[in-house]
Structure 1
Amino acid sequence: MRYISTRAAGPATEGKRFCEILLEGLAPDGGLYLPQSYPQVSSTTLSAWRKVYHEQGYAALAFEVLSLYIDDIPAKDLRALCEKTYTAEVFGTGEIVPLRHVEDGLWIEALSNGPTLAFKDMAMQLLGNLFEYELARRGEELNILGATSGDTGSAAEYAMRGKKGVRVFMTSPHGRMSPFQQAQMFSLMDDNIHNIAIHGVFDDCQDIVKAVSGDLDFKRTHRIGTVNSINWARLLAQVVYYFAGYIQATEGAPTHGIGVSTLPAEADGVQKVSFAVPSGNFGNVCAGHVARMMGLPIDKLVVATNENDVLDEFFRTGTYRVRAAANTHETSSPSMDISKASNFERFVFDLLGRDGQRTQALFGNAVPKLGYFQLGSDPLFAQAATRYGFASGKSTHADRLQTIRDTWSRHGILVDPHTADGLKVAAEQRTVGVPMVVLETALPIKFASTIVEALGREPERPAKFDGIEALPKRVVEMDADVDAIKALIATICQR
């Protein structure tokens, strides 16, 4: 398996192996890595994986999926890394990603049982183990520079804390995360964890990461890597739970006391499933796109946005228009307060027939210069829905409050604001006979003020997080200045 940049000059471009791009993150030309082709999963293979999942568990399924993309780590080592990562001790349940039944044909896939109570743990825990493994194999160190709107930062820091050969420099928008999210990150006192609160919005943080990664001399000198979803390894890890969700939704989940599904099959005899994904940076739903390209029978991939509806606008009109910081709304689903979806480039690359030069013209030229591009009149745009299955919708503060109330009163299920956005948009996109799986984003305690506003009471708090907001904090505030960030990294690396 070889990987190419989304801005590669042509199909003959020589690809890189997995462990090269694992530590590299962004490609030297500014593009994002994707496999030269997607491995195909037949119905026979999917049936075999169903058996693997039920008899051996999530870690075994993860190995099956990952081994299609990773051929430069010995199979026994990759299997051991999966088994080390996906355990009941880390994720609170041996099922790892159980489905919760909401109502007939509607499910929530529980992805937030990890150490930081957010779906980002699903990939970040594996990424931490992969980094440690490969760095030890090479005898090298890595300085991770990341950007977070709330959950990526804490998931990365909890996954990397104490890891040999790894430092983390995590940027976040000052004052724009929930108090719980801030406390999770800023209360960590590990020597290899460094938090930087940027005066700006998430997109400013993301721009810093891309700018530093684009300075190839600095990147090589200081061994800069990434944990944001621009890193292919993280997105790849997320592909696994689409397969796990599909398997459960098409068989029911008797271990949850829900019973066995009796859903009708499609005309071709294959039962399809739709997924609704709360999305700001497009990483989570892009993993679903990869699973669908592999052959997983996905009907719709539903992109649910909040008031920062850049992605919804594109799928409705064909116009991708980023917003300036002043026009990026501060919302009650803050992890999606993003107006520059970095992972979106991967899908557009596929949509354009893997034309790297055209992708470069859009993301490398048009977006930086104009702030937008338009594909609405391009015949290829229609394929976003017809060939690739994408649909979208928008949820507002009033919508998520009502969804939280309704889901609690009707079903006794408490959801966080982002998952509420997913449920709201999922309801608009459901198809009779096709199960809809909403991907859970985080546990409600991470956004307690919105739950209080919706229901008049605090959500349940895991005991290990009691009093976290009152803990001492270690964080540096800085302006959105790339040179200043590079100077800070260089100084700390010299200690």
Structure 2
Amino acid sequence: MEYISTRGKVSGVGFIDAILMGLADDGGLLVPARIPQVSADTLKQWQELSYQELALEIFTLYIGEEIPREELRQLVDDSYSTFRDADVTPVRKLHEGLDVMELFHGPTFAFKDVALQFLGNLYSYVARKTGSTIHIVGATSGDTGASAIEGVRGKEGIRICILHPHGKVSKVQELQMTTVDDANVLNLAIDGTFDDGQRIIKELFADVQFKHRYHLRAINSINIARILAQTVYYFYAYLQLARRGQAAAVSFSVPTGNFGDIFAGYLAKRMGLPVNRLILATNENNILAHFVSEGVYQPGEFRGTYSPSMDIQVASNFERYLFYLYGEDASSVTELMEQFKQNGTITIPQEKLAVVQSDFSAHAVLNQECLDTIAHYHKENGYLLDPHTACGVAAADRLASESGATVALSTAHPAKFDESIRLVGIEQPFPSQISGLFEQSQHVELSPASNEAIAARLVKFFE
């Protein structure tokens, strides 16, 4: 399998080189040169596979023979041996027509573990096999940072620096990152928003000379391996329902801010997974919902919400969807992204909007609706939703009439967002892995949200 850039000036890149490149050297995002197809017969053959077995089959489609199958199998097994549920991403019924897929059974209690445990092991494998220097740099709105750090902490040949917005993540998210005292980990709390951190990371990677000199590697979802790993659980959810006799097309409701998780669902659909609708759930930072309804992609005023991991205005994976929306025409994508850089907005014509609306439904969940959803499901179903999952469930409930059987993605354990849970008068027990964080010292540096400040600190860390 080869990978190409959405902007057309990078092509013929192998899988390992793609994960090392992260952001394409022309400033675009890497996508597979062709999307592998999965037939109905293959889906039937996969129905009894474990999560690990399914992941191996799907990864093989995108990796080919670059990693020998038995070595890839070991990577997969190592990555998911850390999960607390035998199914890795189990599906639970909330009520008739709505199930929830729990993606929070990894070591940091967030869906990011599904991809980042694999990517961390993959980076370690590449470092051992090739002698590559792995200097990981990433920005987080809360969950990516902890998952990425957990995936590579203490591993030889790898260093990682994570930027998070100071005071704009939950306390548990902050502690999961900053209580790590391994020498290969650097936490920087920036004086700004996640969008500031994401912009800095993308601009540092766009400086190809700096990127190559300091061997920068991406851990954010600009890295194609993140997306590929996330497609697996869409297939697994469908196959779990198929085992129950629900083999018809399934809709997925996905809380999203950076468009990575729902893009993985879109990719799964293009591979042949029977997906009815992809429901895009945002919070009050609703740039993506506005795009689905109006065809205008334009950041608005940043709003802090009860679902902070979705407090994102500029979705870094949006460019990948534009690539497919415009028929894989890299020149059109380049023109649109240049327009966005100059004017801060993208407007698509009506015929393209019709395609978008055939791919996605969308709902922007307000703060009170989020809290009301948590309270309702706790009272009526005895199930505690974290605020991000609540956004996905609220969107599914709002759009259920057009969606049929729906799986809402549960992206985090509620204990990670106790500040929001307490607002509806619910007290919850903390898993021991989380409660123990409050007794540990923190290791973090404050930094201005500027390219110059971050670059200077990285040079000192990596040299």
Same fold (TM over 0.5): yes
Counting only pairs closer than 5 Å after superposition, residues 30-109 of structure 1 correspond to structure 2 as: 30-51=27-48, 53=49, 57-71=50-64, 72-87=66-81, 90-109=82-101
Instruction: Tell me the TM-score normalised to structure 2 length.
Output: 0.98
For residue 384 of structure 1, the aligned residue among 347, 350, 356 is 356
**Paired residues for 1:361-376 under 5 Å:** 361-363=335-337, 365-375=338-348
Query: Paired residue for 2:13, among 1, 12, 16?
Result: 16
* TM-score, normalised via structure 1 length: 0.91
What does residue 349 of structure 1 align with? 323
Offset of 1:432 from its aligned partner?
A: 7.0
Q: Which of the residues 398, 402, 417 maps onto 1:428? A: 398
Deviation digits for residues 64-112 of structure 1 (CA, Å, limit 9, x no counterpart): 011000021111111111111122xx11111111111100111000100
Alignment counterpart, residue 417 of structure 1, candidates 376, 381, 387: 387
Q: Which amino acid aligns with 1:317?
A: E
Q: Any idea what SS the aligned residue of 2:47 has?
A: helix
Q: Per the alignment, in what secondary structure is the counterpart of residue 117 of structure 1?
A: coil
Q: Deviations over 1:355-401 (max 9, x none)?
A: 111111112x11111110101x3412211232xx2111010110011
1:488 and 2:460 are equivalent in the alignment: no
Task: Say if 1:249 and 1:435, in contact at 8 Å, map to a contact too.
Answer: no
- Mark the CA change 1:305 to 1:432 in structure 2 (over 3 Å): closer, same or farther: closer
CA distance in 2, matches of 1:14, 1:184: 38
Corresponding residue SS for 2:62: coil
Residue in structure 1 matched with residue 372 of structure 2 by the alignment: 402
Alignment partner for residue 111 of structure 1, among 93, 97, 103?
103
Amino acid across the alignment from 2:138? G
Paired residues of 1:222 and 1:493 also in contact (CA < 8 A): yes
The CA deviation at 1:62 is: 0.2
* Percent sequence identity over aligned pairs: 40
Structure-1 separation of matches of 2:92 and 2:11: 44
Partner of 2:256: 279
For residues 141 and 247 of structure 1, what CA distance do their matches in structure 2 show?
Answer: 39
Could you say which residue in structure 2 is the equivalent of 1:453? 423
2:165/2:197 contact within 8 Å kept: yes
Alignment of 1:290-301 (within 5 A): 290-301=267-278
- SS across alignment from 2:19: helix
Task: List alignment gaps of at least 5 residues for structure 1.
Answer: 253-260, 264-269
Q: Cα offset for 1:431?
A: 4.0
Q: Report deviation, 1:462.
A: 0.6
**Residue 6 (structure 1) aligns with:** 6
Task: Give SS of 2:155's match.
Answer: coil
Q: Which residue of the other structure, out of 228, 231, 241, is the alignment partner of 1:236?
A: 228
Instruction: Name 1:127's counterpart in structure 2.
Output: 119
Deviation track 1:29-57 (CA, whole Å, cap 9, x = no partner) reads 11000001100000011111113x2xxx1
Partners of 1:91 and 1:113 within 8 A in 2: yes
8 Å CA contact 1:249–1:437 kept in 2: the answer is no
Equivalent residues in 2 for 1:89-238, closer than 5 Å: 90-238=82-230
Does the 8 Å contact 1:106/1:436 carry over to 2? Answer: yes
Unmatched runs of 5 consecutive residues or more in structure 2: none
Corresponding residue SS for 1:307? coil
Output aligned runs, 1:244-323, within 5 Å: 244-252=236-244, 261=245, 263=246, 271-323=248-300
> Contact 2:153/2:185 (CA < 8 Å) preserved in 1?
yes
Match of 1:466 in 2: 435
Task: Tell me which residue corresponds to 1:255.
Answer: none
Q: Is the 8 A contact 1:105 1:433 kept in 2?
A: no
Contact 1:33 1:232 in 2 (8 A): yes
* Contact 1:213–1:219 (8 Å) recurs in 2: yes
- Supply the distance in 1 between the matched residues of 2:140 and 2:74 (Cα, whole angstroms): 29
